[in-house]
């Protein structure tokens, strides 16, 4: 460790801080600051043979930046107050995916405070998620995950406050959170799939949740065609948002990345960045244009009903084969080059695709898609605008006032552009649809705005989910948080308001008005989880709400029922034998808001939470003979520390 006085270090920190504040515009030549990713980009390009990426680098982004700066001077920044003083509530729920952390997070917006972690695909030490009996059953033995996209269920084109859906890219799953409790209540394995990436619920009424496979594999993936990638394919999967059952799949030849649905329930969309079917970088980047898959849902469902399907894998899910060329189920709208995001404008008219390796976004008029499917026009004729927005466009949000905001990865900016002007500019090069660009820090991935994914987009707050934070926060070693930035878009000029460090890697978020979500304050004792416990209790002749019983279930198995009420467990001690499989079923009788209890057994790696009026259970093996204290790890009372009991393990 370097030896240095505190004073010298403080000087260094202040100097570095000064740089950060002054780098509103990039400083060429300072490779450790904004320029670094361009540098990394070039390294990458060198690594892969310059080609495709370099093509775009010569663009006019520097000129554009200066131009935008001049324009800004005349504009007025928004005046929204992002400060939420103690005791005041936020205006929006931010639903955040947690990326590799496997969780969902709820943030308060505009304060950007995390107000809830919801464990979903992960094992969570605090709540016992992935360890208690019920969640273990849901997870099916896989307790890591890579959540990417969070969306709420819809009714009539806006959020209905019932469910949150999230994908697991790592293990090809879709999970659901019940907004009454903000807990995961269902999880579905997606067959014939790897790398489940984009998902989107139907917006007219959820309805179906559509899920894209990003990775092409042999179909079926059972050992055949291992070495013939040309025979690979990927699935667009429809899951019923209520029953969480897989209804059908459509097999296409290319990969699928982001997903969107229209506002009428007719179409779903998937960007394809690897229409080439490549299995390495060069292969995936060969073509100048890839495409947007457009799925005709009525035609697909008709085919399923008429059993015009094939069997893949275990054959339980009907598969519509749409590989190879355009037809009644799928049309391919050509989009330059390796498109990533696809986002619907709140008026339901346009699907906006971001080029990623092209500096353009392509605006697809969904009202023209009927004609595409009818063969009256070509797929590419549905593209009505293609403005140049910057280097590395990824995703687009909307303000409900006709403007779009596209995240630009390599340039590290958000580009605001006007949709109508972009359509004009498609025919008239003299029209400039670009309204403004604002620097973000650094390398933005997703962006989203308040209510942007609904017909009620209100144009107040925009989030830029930046993949790198570098020097924006105190140095915390080699692994950094990312940086979710808050931008006021209510004025004619964007205004950066807050840097929000985020545990990696929240890919996406949506912002939901607070009046839409109504969680319960104590656990509603209904649904499949309670049916599971009620059945078990009935079998044992136990009343969960009052009985304390230790029941031996044959050789080596013990069930322990107990209740809890601050600051005591109903059972102050119980006896088991060393090596017993012990299942503790605990019911929290406290019906007071925020009064959770839990159950932790010393030196047994056993812990779970039991929320107000909830029942949970956990199963473990009793250790060597001796006394083991169990205790309540959830602070519940002035005498919380005394809330414990003894598990006495006999030889």
The footprint of a copy of itself on residues 463-522 (CB under 8 A) is 467-481, 485, 496-501, 503-505, 513-522
Residue 86 or 541: the one with the smaller Cβ distance to a copy of itself is 86
**Does position 573 bind a copy of itself by CB under 8 A?**
yes
Give CA separation, 566 vs 194, 334, 521, 542, 612, in Å.
46, 63, 17, 22, 11
Write each residue from 192 to 221 as x if it is in contact with a copy of itself (CB under 8 A), else as -, in one continuous string: --xx------------------xx-xx--x
Of 107-115, 261-269, 301-309, 416-424, which part binds a copy of itself (CB under 8 A)? 107-115
Nearest approach, Cβ of 522 to a copy of itself (angstroms)?
6
**Which residues, numbered 287-316, are part of the site for a copy of itself (CB under 8 A)?**
none
What is the per-residue binding string for a copy of itself in 20-59, x denoting contact by CB under 8 A?
xx-x--------x---x---xx-xx--xx----x------
| Residue 222 interacts with a copy of itself (CB under 8 A): yes or no | yes
Contact 637, 562 (CB under 8 A): no
According to CB under 8 A, which residues from 314 to 373 bind a copy of itself? Answer: 340, 356-357
Query: Among residue numbers 435 through 464, which ones bind a copy of itself (CB under 8 A)?
Result: 441, 443, 445
Q: How far is the CB of 203 from a copy of itself (least distance, A)?
A: 18
Figure out which of the listed residues 79, 280, 306, 430 binds a copy of itself, where binding follows CB under 8 A. Answer: 280
Backbone angles phi, psi at 300, to 5 degrees: -65, -45
State which of residues 154, 267, 409, 561 lies at the interface with a copy of itself (CB under 8 A).
409
Report phi then psi at 612, rounded to 5: -50, 125
Using the rule CB under 8 A, which residue among 523, 563, 583, 586 binds a copy of itself?
523
Please state the closest distance from residue 539 (CB atom) to a copy of itself, in A.
26
Closer residue to a copy of itself in complex, CB, 301/581: 581
Examine residue 110 and say whether the peptide bond preceding it is cis (omega within 30 degrees of 0).
yes
- Calpha distance 593→180 (Å, rounded): 14
Choose the stretch contacting a copy of itself; rule: CB under 8 A; options: 95-103, 198-206, 378-386, 542-550. 95-103
Q: Which of 34, 97, 117, 438 binds a copy of itself (CB under 8 A)?
A: 117
51-90 burial string, b = 16+ CB within 10 Å, else e? Answer: ebbeebeeeebeebbeebeebbeeeebbebebebeeeeeb
Taking the C-alpha atoms of residue 409 and residue 484, their distance in angstroms, rounded to an integer, is 14
Tokens 């109504």 belong to which residue?
A: 518
Minimum CB distance to a copy of itself, residue 287 (Å): 13
Contact by Cβ (8 Å): 237, 246: yes
CB of 431 to a copy of itself, least distance (A): 28
Task: Name which of 180 and 266 has its Cβ closer to a copy of itself.
Answer: 180
Q: Least CB distance from residue 300 to a copy of itself, whole Å?
A: 25
Q: What is the bridge-based pairing of β-strands 319-321 and 246-252?
A: parallel
Do residues 164 and 523 lie in contact, with contact meaning Cβ atoms separated by under 8 Å? no
Strand order of the sheet with strand 350-354?
A: 342-344, 350-354, 361-365, 383-385
Q: 497: closest CA among 481, 509, 507, 484? A: 484
Q: 62 vs 25, 66, 68, 405, 411, CA distance in Å?
A: 10, 6, 10, 19, 9
The nearest distance, CB 60 to a copy of itself, in angstroms, is 18
Minimum Å gap between C-beta 171 and a copy of itself is 5
Which lies closer to a copy of itself via its Cβ, residue 300 or residue 394? 394
Q: How many CA atoms lie within 13 A of 464 on its CB side?
A: 34
Decide: is 614 part of the binding site for a copy of itself (CB under 8 A).
yes
583 vs 596, beta carbon nearer a copy of itself? 596
Q: Which is nearer to a copy of itself, 384 or 487 (CB)?
A: 487
> Contact 487/496 with Cβ under 8 angstroms?
yes
Per-residue binding letters, 56-75, with a copy of itself (x by CB under 8 A): --------------------
Q: CB under 8 A: which stretch of 63-71, 378-386, 525-533, 598-606 binds a copy of itself?
A: 598-606
Q: How far is the CB of 304 from a copy of itself (least distance, A)?
A: 25
Taking CB under 8 A as the criterion, the residue among 276, 460, 612, 615 binding a copy of itself is 612
The rounded distance, in Å, linking the Cα atoms of 128 and 617 is 10
Q: Is there binding between residue 384 and a copy of itself (CB under 8 A)?
A: no
Please state the closest distance from residue 374 (CB atom) to a copy of itself, in A.
34
Give the CB-side neighbour count of residue 514, counting CA atoms within 13 A: 8
Number of residues that bind a copy of itself (CB under 8 A): 183
Number of Cβ within 10 Å of residue 186's Cβ equals 20
Q: At CB < 8 A and 24+ separation, what contacts does 111-116 make?
A: 111/82, 111/83, 111/84, 112/82, 112/484, 112/486, 112/498, 112/500, 113/84, 115/90, 116/182
CB of residue 86 vs a copy of itself: minimum separation in angstroms? Answer: 5
Helix (H), strand (E), coil (C) string for 345-398: CCCCCEEEEECCCCCEEEEEEHHHHHHHHCCCCCHHHHEEECCECCCCEEEEEE
Binding mask 252-271 for a copy of itself (x = CB under 8 A): -----x--------------
Q: Return the residues of window 146-185 that contact a copy of itself according to CB under 8 A.
A: 146, 161-162, 169-172, 179-183
Judge contact between 186 and 209, C-beta under 8 A: no
**Neighbour tally for 484: CB within 10 Å:** 23
* Nearer residue to a copy of itself within complex by CB, 333 or 466: 466
Distance of alpha carbon 316 from alpha carbon 409, whole angstroms = 41
């Amino acid at each position: 460790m370097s030896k240095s006085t505190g004073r010298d270090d403080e000087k260094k920190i202040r100097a570095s801080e000064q740089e950060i504040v002054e780098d509103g515009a990039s400083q060429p030549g300072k490779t450790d600051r904004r320029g670094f990713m361009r540098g990394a980009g070039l390294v990458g390009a060198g690594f892969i043979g310059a080609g495709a990426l370099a093509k775009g680098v010569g663009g006019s982004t520097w000129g554009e930046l200066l131009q935008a700066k001049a324009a800004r001077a005349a504009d007025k920044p928004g005046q929204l107050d992002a400060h939420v003083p103690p005791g005041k509530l936020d205006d929006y729920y931010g639903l955040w995916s947690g990326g590799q952390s496997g969780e969902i997070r709820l943030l308060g917006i505009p304060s950007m405070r995390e107000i809830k972690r919801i464990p979903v695909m992960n094992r969570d030490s605090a709540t016992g998620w992935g360890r208690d009996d019920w969640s273990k059953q849901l997870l099916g033995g896989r307790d890591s995950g890579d959540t990417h996209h969070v969306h709420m269920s819809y009714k009539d084109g806006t959020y209905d406050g019932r469910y949150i859906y999230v994908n697991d890219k790592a293990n090809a799953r879709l999970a659901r959170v019940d907004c009454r409790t903000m807990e995961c209540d269902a999880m579905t394995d997606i067959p014939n799939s790897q790398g489940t990436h984009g998902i989107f619920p139907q917006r007219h009424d959820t309805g179906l949740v559509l899920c894209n496979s990003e990775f092409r594999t042999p179909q079926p993936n059972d050992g055949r065609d291992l070495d013939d990638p040309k025979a690979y394919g990927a699935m667009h999967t429809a899951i019923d948002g209520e029953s969480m059952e897989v209804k059908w799949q459509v097999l296409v030849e290319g990969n699928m990345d982001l997903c969107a649905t229209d506002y009428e329930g007719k179409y779903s969309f998937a960007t394809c960045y690897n229409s080439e079917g490549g299995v390495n970088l060069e292969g995936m980047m060969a073509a100048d244009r890839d495409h947007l898959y457009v799925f005709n849902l009525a035609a697909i469902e008709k085919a399923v009903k008429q059993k015009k399907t094939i069997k893949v894998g275990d054959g339980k899910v009907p598969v519509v084969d749409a590989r190879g060329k355009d037809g009644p189920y799928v049309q391919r709208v050509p989009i330059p080059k390796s498109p990533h995001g696809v986002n619907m404008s709140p008026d339901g008219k346009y699907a906006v695709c971001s080029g990623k390796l092209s500096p353009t976004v392509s605006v697809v008029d969904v009202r023209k898609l009927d004609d595409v499917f009818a063969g009256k026009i070509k797929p590419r004729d549905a593209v009505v605008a293609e403005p140049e927005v910057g280097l590395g466009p990824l995703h687009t949000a909307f303000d409900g006032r006709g403007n779009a905001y596209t995240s630009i990865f390599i340039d590290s900016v958000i580009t605001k552009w006007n949709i109508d002007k972009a359509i004009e500019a498609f025919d008239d090069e003299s029209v400039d649809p670009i309204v403004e660009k604002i620097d973000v820090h650094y390398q933005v991935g997703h962006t989203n705005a308040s209510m942007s994914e609904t017909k009620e987009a209100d144009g107040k707050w925009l989030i830029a989910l930046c993949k790198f934070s570098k020097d924006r926060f105190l140095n915390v070693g080699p692994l950094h948080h990312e940086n979710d930035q808050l931008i006021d878009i209510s004025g004619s000029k964007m205004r950066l308001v807050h840097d929000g460090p985020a545990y990696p890697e929240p890919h996406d978020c949506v912002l939901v008005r607070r009046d839409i979500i109504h969680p319960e304050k104590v656990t509603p004792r209904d649904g499949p989880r309670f049916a599971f416990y009620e059945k078990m209790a009935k079998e044992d002749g136990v009343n969960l709400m009052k009985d304390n019983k230790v029941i031996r279930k044959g050789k080596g198995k013990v069930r322990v029922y107990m209740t809890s009420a601050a600051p005591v467990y109903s059972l102050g001690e119980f006896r088991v034998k060393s090596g017993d499989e012990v299942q503790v079923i605990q019911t929290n009788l406290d019906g007071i808001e925020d009064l959770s209890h839990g159950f932790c057994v010393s030196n047994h790696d056993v812990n779970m939470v039991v929320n107000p009026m909830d029942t949970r259970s956990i199963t473990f093996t009793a250790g060597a003979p001796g006394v083991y204290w169990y205790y309540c790890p959830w602070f519940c009372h002035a005498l919380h520390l005394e809330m414990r009991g003894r598990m006495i393990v006999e030889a």
